[in-house]
Every structure is written in structure tokens, then in C-alpha cells.
């Protein structure tokens, strides 16, 4: 079998609703690596949110921040940041309309006091544990001028007054908005990234860097920000716990994350025996 490059989302794909990685997923990744296939994290998480238990699985690369940075063999080969004009315009729009929001940066989140308190409440309502919340926030940069931070990569918001579709329309053409891929998030939570930069563009950068063909790529996901990567890949696989709109657009659907979904799909695809 030709070497494949497998791109794996984190939340809801490799980790369950409590943020735990099933043993079967770890086994599948290890066995596929031993069979010569490249395993790549492909996530909306920023680098600080990719914790040691994930890194210890031995991935060949990372596409992070929903495509804003790409790492190959421990070396960063690409990184994009929100420009100064749009850091300020996004802040004005979100603050004026009462969103609870933060900017994700290299080492943590950047936000004002009002949004910090609102985000803590929202995460408690979603049932996110203190340990997992610490992994999701990293260093907390509290400032009343969060737009000044030059390494802001993307925006996470909660408790919006509008639907994701309205937010997307309001923030075009520079930004793109999708629903938030966290268990417990509602239709008024989302993530905002630079338009034209997504998991698929990060995949393309990584594949070109390592000299692999698009048709030899496989992508696993469960949420809205996985659609582009799953459609770009040679084979797109939806988890059994994925949203229905994700399953419909996938090439195949496997079992849920807690039902050995990754392991079973790897066997079916011939990545492992």
C-alpha cells in the first residue's frame, strides 16, 4: 500500500466529549505509523492547546488554528495572523454587539475582563472541566485593548446575538465564521478565521512540503470546520458522532469516537491490519 498522509481533527474526533483520547485511537495511530503512514494533527486549536498527551502519540506534523499555522517534523513552515486593521474592526463589531469573545494567539487567549467573565460562565454551562478549560485557554492575556496583540490568529465567540450565518455575512470578506466544534456549544457559539485560510489550505501546504499527493491524503473530522479538509482529502471520513451535515458530505462514516471509530476506520482503509 502506498504511504498515506492521515489528517486527524482533535475535538470530537480523537478526543471524546470530556477531552480524553481512547486507547484504541492511540493504538491505531501508533500501528499506522509503524506501517509507514504519516499522521498529522489537523485542528482548530492553537499551538498552546495541543497538549503533551497528543504530542506523545508521535505525529509527523500539525495543521493548527484551522490552517493558520503548519508544522512539519517539529519545524514551523507557515503562520498567518490577523492584520492590524481587522483586529480592530473585529473587536469593534463583536464588542458593540455584546458577544463574549477572545482572540486565540500563539500562547493563550487575549480578551477583556467582560468577555473573560462571560467565557468562564459559558464554559461552565457547557460542562467543561477546570482541567480542560486550562488546556483550552493557555495563558490568559487580560487587556482592554485585545486588538493590539499582533499574534492574534483567530477568534472564538459565545452567546452571540446572531446566528453563525449572520456573523459570517457581517464579517465578510476578510473573515469567515463557522459553528464552534466543541461538545455542548450551541448555534450562537462559533469561531472566526481569516477567509481563504482553513484546514484544507493548511493540508495543501503540508502535502507540498513533504512531497505527498492530495489523492494519498485521508481526513477525519466531526464538525463544521472539518468540511473543507474532508472535501479536499482523497478520502474524507466522518465520525459516528459527527453532525449530520458533515456525514452527508463525507466519503464514509465510521463509528463514534468512544466506539473505536478511528481504529475501525483505519482497519477498513487498510492502514492497519
Looking at residue 88, its pLDDT comes to 98
Average pLDDT in the 253-260 region?
A: 97
Ordered structural domains, the chain, with CATH: 5-80+197-268 (3.40.50.1000), 84-194 (3.30.1240.10)
Q: What confidence score (pLDDT) does residue 19 get?
A: 86
The secondary element (H helix, E strand) that includes residue 236 is: strand 235-238
Q: What is the pLDDT of residue 6?
A: 98
For the record, the C-alpha cell of 133 comes out as 478549560
Q: Is the pLDDT of residue 260 over 70?
A: yes
Q: Which residues are bridge partners to 139 per DSSP?
A: 108
pLDDT at 157 (0 to 100): 95
What confidence category does residue 132 fall into, taking pLDDT thresholds of 50, 70 and 90? confident
Q: What end-to-end distance do the CA atoms of the chain give, in Å? A: 12
Tell me the pLDDT tens digit for each residue of 93-122: 999 999 999 999 988 999 999 999 999 998
Query: Which whole number is the average pLDDT over 233-242?
Result: 97
Smallest CA-to-CA distance from 252 within 233, 265, 267, 270 is with 265
φ, ψ of residue 164 to 5 degrees: the values are -60, -40
- pLDDT digits 0-9 by tens, 167-220: 999 999 999 999 887 665 677 899 999 999 999 999 999 999 999 999 999 999
Three-state secondary-structure class, residue 72? strand
CA contacts within 13 A on the Cβ side of 224? 18
Task: Say whether pLDDT at 1 is over 80.
Answer: no
- Residue 106: the pLDDT is 86
* Model confidence, pTM: 0.87
Percentage, residues of the chain above pLDDT 90: 82
Q: What rounded mean pLDDT belongs to the chain?
A: 94
Share of the chain above pLDDT 70, in %: 98
For cell 480592530, the residue is 88
> 3-state class of 267 per DSSP?
helix
Amino acid at each position: 500500500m502506498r504511504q498515506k498522509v492521515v489528517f486527524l481533527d482533535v475535538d470530537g474526533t480523537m478526543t471524546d466529549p470530556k477531552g480524553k483520547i481512547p486507547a484504541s485511537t492511540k493504538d491505531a495511530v501508533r500501528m499506522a505509523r509503524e506501517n509507514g503512514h504519516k499522521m498529522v494533527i489537523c485542528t482548530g486549536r492553537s499551538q498552546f492547546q495541543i497538549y503533551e498527551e497528543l504530542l506523545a502519540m508521535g505525529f509527523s506534523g500539525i495543521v493548527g488554528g484551522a490552517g493558520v499555522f503548519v508544522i512539519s517534523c517539529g519545524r514551523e513552515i507557515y503562520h498567518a495572523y490577523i492584520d492590524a486593521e481587522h483586529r480592530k474592526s473585529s473587536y469593534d463589531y463583536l464588542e458593540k454587539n455584546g458577544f463574549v469573545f477572545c482572540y486565540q494567539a500563539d500562547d493563550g487567549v487575549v480578551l477583556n475582563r467582560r468577555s473573560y467573565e462571560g467565557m468562564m460562565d459559558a464554559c461552565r454551562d457547557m460542562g467543561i472541566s477546570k482541567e480542560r478549560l486550562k488546556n483550552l485557554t493557555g495563558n490568559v492575556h487580560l487587556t482592554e485593548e485585545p486588538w493590539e496583540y499582533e499574534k492574534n490568529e483567530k477568534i472564538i465567540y459565545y452567546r452571540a446575538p446572531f446566528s453563525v450565518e449572520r456573523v459570517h455575512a457581517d464579517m465578510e470578506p476578510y473573515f469567515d465564521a463557522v459553528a464552534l466544534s466543541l461538545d455542548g456549544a450551541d448555534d450562537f457559539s462559533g469561531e472566526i478565521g481569516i477567509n481563504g485560510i482553513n484546514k484544507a489550505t493548511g493540508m495543501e501546504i503540508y502535502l507540498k512540503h513533504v512531497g505527498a499527493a492530495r489523492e494519498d491524503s485521508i481526513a477525519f473530522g466531526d464538525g463544521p470546520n472539518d468540511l473543507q479538509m474532508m472535501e479536499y482529502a482523497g478520502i474524507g471520513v466522518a465520525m459516528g458522532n459527527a453532525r449530520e451535515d458533515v456525514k452527508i458530505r463525507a466519503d464514509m462514516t465510521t463509528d463514534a469516537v468512544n466506539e473505536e471509530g478511528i481504529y475501525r476506520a483505519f482497519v477498513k482503509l487498510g492502514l492497519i491490519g
